[in-house]
Amino acid sequence: MGGGIRVELRFNAPQECPVADVSGETGGTSRSISWSPDPDTDRTIEEFVLESTDDSGSEPTELSVPIETVFTDASSEIYRFERQYRQDCPCMSIEQFGCPVANVEARDGTLFVTFHVSEIDEIRTILTELRSRYNDMSVERIIRSELSKSESTLVHVDRDILTNRQVEVLQMALEMGYFERPRGATAGEVAEALDINRATFAEHLASAQRKLLPTIVGDSSHD
């Protein structure tokens, strides 16, 4: 029985995101982000905790919307702001697919969003649509949990062992349905979408698989 899939996406300096702006200006980390949309007024109230990473005590100034401090202590501050309900906000865009956002964190101006899906096919649909909306989006990691009656196995796939080109090849192949049965795209079609020849595509794919498979099957060695 499948245990579901956790997806973590990275949005580099997302536009008009006060949460990312504050973390970028202060060098802090924004966590525990929550929001309450009001469809009647087309507004949403958002709140987040900023954990400082230094002793500079710098205050955020250049933001797209005004924010207020609602609580502060020695290690963190809680900010609240109100803005127009934005369907182009990464978090709200993800939730439009029926996937509640499980965790949101901003570090140094970069937004990390985590959500869960039950089937691998859902990821391809969501990533294809999100990539058309956000040029600065990338897949940080995908974690698949395999559950059985007797045991639970959590497989952590870390993209840091791959080159940027290998990540790009895997993402395109996944989005185009290359790994599905029957396949949604041939190797030649994926290679054409990447603007490379078929042999180069096969080489990148094989190299990425050699690095990932030892992690998945329990062998820590890889090239």
Residue 170: per-residue pLDDT: 86
pLDDT digits (tens, 9 = 90+) for 201-210: 888 888 887 8
Q: Quick one: angle between helices 187-194 and 198-217, nearest 10?
A: 110
Q: Which of 84, 114, 144 is the endpoint of a domain?
A: 114
67, 81 in Cβ contact below 8 A? yes
Residue 103 and residue 22 share a domain: yes
First vs last Cα of the chain: how many Å apart?
Answer: 32
Residue 83 and residue 37 share a domain: yes
Residue 134 and residue 212 share a domain: yes
Say if 79 falls within a structural domain: yes
Say if 36 falls within a structural domain: yes
Say if 222 falls within a structural domain: no
Q: Which of 57, 89, 114 is the endpoint of a domain?
A: 114
Q: Which of 60, 80, 114 is the endpoint of a domain?
A: 114
Residue 208 and residue 173 share a domain: yes
More confidently predicted of 160 and 60: 160
Instruction: Tell me the residue ranges of DSSP E strands in 132-199.
Output: 137-147, 152-158
Q: What is the DSSP string of 171-190?
A: HHHHHTTTTSSS-SS-HHHH
Residue 127 and residue 109 share a domain: no
Residue 51: per-residue pLDDT: 82
Residue 54: per-residue pLDDT: 53
Q: Compute the average pLDDT of residues 95-103.
A: 88
Residue 159 and residue 211 share a domain: yes
Q: Which domain holds residue 179?
A: 122-217
Say if 88 falls within a structural domain: yes
Confidence of residue 136 (pLDDT cuts 50, 70, 90): confident
Residue 136 and residue 101 share a domain: no
Residue 97 and residue 24 share a domain: yes
Least reliable range by pLDDT among 17-21, 46-50, 62-66, 135-139: 62-66
Say if 4 falls within a structural domain: no
Say if 98 falls within a structural domain: yes
Residue 131 and residue 102 share a domain: no
Say if 3 falls within a structural domain: no
Say if 223 falls within a structural domain: no
- The pLDDT > 70 percentage for the chain reads 78
Confidence of residue 223 (pLDDT cuts 50, 70, 90): very low
144, 5 in Cβ contact below 8 A? yes
The domain total for the chain is 2
State how far the Cα of 19 lies from the Cα of 67, in Å rounded to an integer. 10
State how far the Cα of 49 lies from the Cα of 165, in Å rounded to an integer. 35
Q: Compute the average pLDDT of residues 186-197.
A: 91
pLDDT digits (tens, 9 = 90+) for 24-53: 888 888 886 787 877 777 788 888 888 865
pLDDT digits (tens, 9 = 90+) for 140-191: 888 877 655 455 555 566 667 888 888 888 888 888 888 777 778 888 999 9
Residue 110 and residue 16 share a domain: yes
Residue 82 and residue 160 share a domain: no
